Amino acid sequence: MQPLRIGLVGAGGRARAFDRVISSRDDVTIAAVCDVDLYDDGVLDEAANALDADEAYRDYCAMLVDADLDAVVIGTPMHLHATQAIAALERDLHVLSEVPAGVGIGECRDLVAAAERSAGSYMLAENYIYMRQNRHVEQLVEAGLFGDIYYAEAEYLHELKALSDATPWRRVWSRDRPGVTYPTHCLGPVLRWFGDDRIDQVACAGAGTDYSDGHGDSAARWASTVLLGRTERGRLVKVRYDATSERPHAMDNYQLQGTTGAYESARAPGEHNKIWLDAFEEAESSHDYAWLDLAELDQHLPSEWTDPPAAVADAGHGGGDFFVCSAFLDAVQAGESPPIDVHAAMDMTLPGLASIESARNDGAWTGVPNSRCW
């Protein structure tokens, strides 16, 4: 079999997160890298050398036209994801795109149409789904141990002021707009746990301070933003997003509530992921409710985490970067639909875009489009 030929765009940034997975496989090769070298710091040459790529491009369209590719990995700033994915899908290339899928509902609609027309497949690289503790909870949910699930919370609390200073696109698309503008790390795992369900309404409000970073006066106006989402099946989810406030990071916080189980992830290093499952309750009175450490339930780990490949230990985001890229490559090689297809990507992206409208309307409940009806 010929190796799958990949082009990495944004090769000086996040697209590099997947280079270790790709280089660990015989069935894939990095044929080309592309970067405009936005910050003029030589990242394109450095990436081409480090990745041993055959070709290097500054122009993405030139890479699509001239390089002989089967797939692209998109790791550029978020306002480019949808446009670049559409351009690749129109050439029937497979696409693994960084999060979020898009920054506007119109371009998301165009992306869905392009994915449906294309012979290439589309996958969103939502890596938090693949973290060990999140897959572990997913396995317990699938075993029915949480009963009927009706509530979840998730938070992304990551002080990024220095990064926003260095990467201006973050200020425009992620920080200065109201709403939860970076929702997929929160919604990805939660929607997996909810199963066949989607958020169809959101209400959102934010609060902040008068902090100014010298790049406009809105730097912290929307510092902490909370999205409430209602699902088609009547569940409730609360998401808090904050990339500005001064506090220790807490980038993968989750809570889940079902009729026979509850979960609260660790909020700080050294804490345990806490789980209560009625099926494992040892107390005589069912009202004593003692937490277990999730690690005590390792017999319910999903298979990929029982004996993970050595490269997982070096992969970013708790190994999530390894497994999300592997899932894409495995699906493409098998000719199957990838596990986070364009509609799953929309289910994680569109509530955030609708939350911007809600926040601008003083927190009014706002409908979230269903991409399957477009």
Site residues for ligand NAD per CB under 6 A: 9-10, 12-14, 34-38, 43, 60, 75-78, 80, 98-99, 127, 167, 317
To ligand NAD, the closest distance from the beta carbon of 302 in angstroms equals 20
Q: Nearer to ligand NAD by C-beta: 99 or 342?
A: 99
Q: Enumerate residues 6+ apart whose C-beta is below 8 A from 105.
A: 350, 353, 354, 369
CB of 126 to ligand NAD, least distance (A): 7
Q: Closest distance between ligand NAD and the C-beta of residue 347, in Å?
A: 17
With beta carbons less than 8 A apart as the criterion, state whether 75 and 47 touch.
no
CB closest to ligand NAD, residue no: 13
Residue given tokens 């890596």 in the structure block: 127
Identify which of residues 23 and 167 has a Cβ nearer to ligand NAD in the complex: 167
* Strands across the sheet containing 236-242: 292-293, 274-277, 261-264, 250-258, 149-157, 236-242, 224-231, 199-207, 366-367
Q: Is 64 exposed, middle or buried (0-12, 13-18, 19+ CB in 10 A)?
A: buried
203 or 342: CB nearest ligand NAD: 342
In the complex, minimum distance from the CB of residue 317 to ligand NAD, in angstroms, rounded to a whole number: 5
- Residue 338, C-beta contacts closer than 8 angstroms, at least 6 positions apart: 96, 121, 122, 123, 327, 328, 331, 332
CB of 207 to ligand NAD, least distance (A): 23
| Least gap, CB of 252 to ligand NAD (angstroms) | 10
Distance CA 13, CA 58 (A): 14
Assess contact for 352 and 227: CB atoms under 8 A. yes
Question: What's the angle, vertex CA 8, arms to CA 340 and CA 155, rounded to 5?
Answer: 45
What is the Cα Rg of the chain in Å? 21
The DSSP result for 222-256, as a single string, is TSEEEEEEEETTS-EEEEEEESSS-S--EEEEEEE
CB nearer to ligand NAD: give 6 or 203: 6
Q: Look up residue 148 and give its DSSP letter.
A: S
**How far is Cα 2 from Cα 17, in angstroms, rounded to an integer?**
24
Closest approach of Cβ 179 to ligand NAD, in Å?
Answer: 15
The least distance separating ligand NAD from the CB of residue 232, rounded to whole angstroms, comes to 26
Minimum gap (Å) between residue 324 Cβ and ligand NAD: 8
**Closest by alpha carbon to 142, among 272, 303, 342?**
303
Cβ atoms < 10 Å from Cβ of 297: 18
* Helix 184-194 with 132-142: angle, nearest 10 deg: 20
Q: By C-beta, is 37 or 304 nearer to ligand NAD? A: 37
Residue type at 168? Answer: P
Shortest distance (Å) from residue 68 CB to ligand NAD: 19
Residues in the chain: 374
